[in-house]
Amino acid sequence: MADDTQLNSINENDIDINSGGEFERTPVPESNLKSWKYFLGMYAGEHAAGTEFMIGPLFLTAGVSAFDLIIGLLIGNLFAVLSWRFLTAEIAVKYRLTLYYHLEKISGKKLVIGYNLANGLLFCFLAGAMITVSATAVGIPFDMEMPKLTDTMPNSITWVVIVVGIGAVISLIAAKGFNTVAKAANWMSPIIVLAFLTSGIVALQQLGVKNISDFWTIWGEGSEPFPGQIKFTFWHVVFWSWFANAAMHIGMSDLSVFRFAKSKKSGWTTAAGMYVGHYMAWIAAALLYAVYLKTPEAQMMLSNGNAPTVAPGPLAYNAIGVFGIITVVLAGWTTANPTIYRAGLAFQAIIPKVSTFWVTIIAGSIATIAGIFPAFAMKLLDFVAFYGFMLAPVGAIIVFEYFYSERFGIQKFYAEKAGLKYNPAVLIAWILPFIIFYFISVKYDIFLSFLTLPAWISSGLIFLIISKYMQGSKG
C-alpha cells in the first residue's frame, strides 16, 4: 500500500520533459483531473462516430434478425459498460498511469515494446478505417467512385488525395493532446448524435414504417448473409458488441483515458457511447442501408451475386443531404482522433525521447496510409473482433494482478521491483492463450468473439500461476 500511495503523490513538476503535459511516465496529478462531463462527451463522440456508419450496415450484410439485433445489442453493450466501470476505471483511478507505463512495471521494458508496437499499429489501422469513412463523404462533391464491400486497394487518385488530406487534419488535432481531443469530441458529439437520430427517422419514413410491427419487419427473422459475409445469430451480436471494444475495456487500453478521471464513477459515462452510439447509431445506420438495398442499383448487384456497396457518405447524404456529408466527416474524426492519440502513447513508450506531438504525427501518418486501403473499413466486423481478441489478454494480466495478487502471494509491479527488463510470465500468459484459441477459431471455424473471454481468463490465470512459481523460486 505504501508503494501505491507514493505513485499517487508525485509532484506535478516531476513530469518527463518530453511529455508535453500528457504524464506518460508519471501519475496524473490532482490538478489535472477531469470531471465526468469530459468523458461523457468524449465517449459519446467516439462511439457515435465513424465506425457506426460502417457497422450498422454490416449487421444487415450478416443477415441478422430483428430480435437478435435489438435485444442482442442491448445485452452486449451492458456488459461492455460494466467492464469499463468495474475493471478499467477502477484500476485507472487507483494508479493514474497509462496502460503502457503500467504494463512496463509488470512486464519489463523489453517485453512491453512488442506489445506497444502491436497495440499502436492496430489502433492506427482502426483509425485508418475511420479516415476511409470520412473520405466517402468528402468524395461526394467530386463524384468520386466509392469503394465496394469487396475492395482492398484504392480505386482512384482522387480517393488517395482526399484520404491524405483528411488524415493530415485528424493527425494534427490528435497531436495537440488529451485536452484538444476531448474538446473536439465535446463540440462534435451533439451534432453527430442529432444526425444519427435524424437520419434514422428519415430512413424509417423512406421505408414506410408506421408502427413497431413495420419496424420489426425490416430485419424480420433474418436472412442469408451477403456474399463473403458470415451469418450473425443472437450470440454473435451479444459477444461481438461486448468485445467490439475489448482492447479498451478488458484489454485496459482506456487506463490511458480514465487516469484523468476524478472518480471511478466516470466509468459509467461509457454508457453514452454504448447506447447512443453502439445502439441507436448502429440501428440508424442499418436503416440507412436498408433504404439503399431497395434501390435498383443494389437489387441489380444482389441479383448478380454481389454485395451492394457500403459507403457511409452517400447513405447519409441520401437521408439528410449536405448535413449528412458533414456528419460523416465529423464522425470519422471523433473516432480517429482518440484512437490516434492512444496509438501515439503506445509509440511514445517505445521511443520516449521523441515528443508526444511527433509520435502522434507518426501514428497519424500510419493511420492515413491504412485509410487509403478500403479493406480495413469493409472488413471492420472481422478486424475489430481480431484486434480485441489479440490485445484483451494483456489486460487480463493487469486485472488479475490487481485483484488477486495478494490472494496468490505475488508482488505487484514485479518487473520494476525486481529490476527485470523481461518478465516471462507476461509473455507466456499473453502468447499461449492467443495461439491456442486462435488456432481453435481457424481449425473449427468458431467466431473469434466467442473465444475472447476464454482467452482472457486463461491469460490471467496463467500469469498468476507462473508468477507464483517464479517469485516463489526467487524468494
pLDDT for 185? 63
Strand partners, 261: 34
C-alpha cell belonging to residue 57: 450496415
Residue 67 CA to residue 219 CA, distance in Å, equals: 8
Residue 119 CA to residue 127 CA, distance in Å, equals: 12
What's the predicted TM-score (pTM) here?
0.85
Strand partners, 34: 261
**Statement: residue 310 has pLDDT above 60:** yes
pLDDT, greater one: 340 or 392:
392
Residue 224 CA to residue 62 CA, distance in Å, equals: 7
pLDDT for 12? 33
CB 123 within 8 A of CB 343: yes
pLDDT, greater one: 5 or 202:
202
Average predicted confidence (pLDDT) for the chain: 86
**Statement: residue 19 has pLDDT above 50:** no
- pLDDT tier, 18 (very low <50, low <70, confident <90, very high otherwise): very low
Residue 76 CA to residue 55 CA, distance in Å, equals: 15
In degrees and rounded to multiples of 5, residue 143 shows phi and psi of 55, 40
Mean pLDDT for 139-164 is 83
Sorted by sequence, the CB contacts under 8 Å of residue 81 that are 6+ apart come out as 267, 268, 270, 271, 274
C-alpha cell belonging to residue 16: 518527463
Residue with cell 520533459: 17
CB 155 within 8 A of CB 142: no
Mean pLDDT for 189-196 is 84
pLDDT for 8? 34
pLDDT for 309? 79
Amino acid letter at 455? A
Mean pLDDT for 30-57 is 83
User: Which range has the worst mean pLDDT, 50-59, 139-148, 409-418, 463-472?
Assistant: 139-148
**Statement: residue 376 has pLDDT above 90:** no
pLDDT for 177? 66
* DSSP E strands, 385-460: none
Which is it for the CA torsion 363, 365, 367, 370, positive or negative? negative
- pLDDT tier, 10 (very low <50, low <70, confident <90, very high otherwise): very low
C-alpha cell belonging to residue 58: 454490416
pLDDT, greater one: 334 or 4:
334
How many other C-beta atoms lie within 10 A of the C-beta of residue 257? 30
Mean pLDDT for 96-119 is 89
Please name each of the domains of the chain with its CATH number: 2-9+19-392 (1.10.4160.10)
Q: How far is CA 442 from CA 228, 234, 326, 435, in A?
A: 16, 21, 40, 11
Mean pLDDT for 237-265 is 94
C-alpha cell belonging to residue 422: 523481461
Residue 6 CA to residue 95 CA, distance in Å, equals: 10
